[in-house]
Structure 1
Amino acid sequence: MAEVEDAFWAAFFAGGSLDAAHRAAGVSRPTAYRWWRRRFVALRAQGVSVRTAARQLRVPPALAAAWEAERRSAAKDPANPPKQDVQC
């Protein structure tokens, strides 16, 4: 599966849209979205700013803000773990 995810990221970082990248890798849109979000969370966990992570991944500002709010909420409440893992 790592090869498929690598193909997705290669297509995405080559300038393709999320839709084009998921089709190029042969995965569903929900899978691509999950990988996209997981990469954002991983970058934030590494100390990358919200703005920089969003810019690198072409995440719209409103969506980045929503993901960040959820990430912070989950970090404050151990009973509410993050919905996405942070491994990339």
Structure 2
Amino acid sequence: MQVITNAACAGVYGPNVVIGSVICTATTGGRGTCQGDSGGPLDIGTGANRQQIGVTSFVHSSGCQRGQPAGFVRVTSFNAWIRQRL
């Protein structure tokens, strides 16, 4: 999956949905998240260098195979909250 700009994503979902704490990915070629994937990770890197940067949040209402962006909650936006609970 390829991360896209929030501006491009907001063109689909609107600026009230795509806020600073959101990461969006392109879902070309029928690859991406789908209903039921909520809560799953968005990782970058490989092997021991893998790092979670997002948590699956939303897909387009027309379905996950339609080529619309998928939305993830940006983990770094909640670092303080996460660390308080560790």
Greater strand proportion? 2
Scaled by the length of structure 1, what TM-score is found? 0.25
Greater helix proportion? 1
Scaled by the length of structure 2, what TM-score is found? 0.25
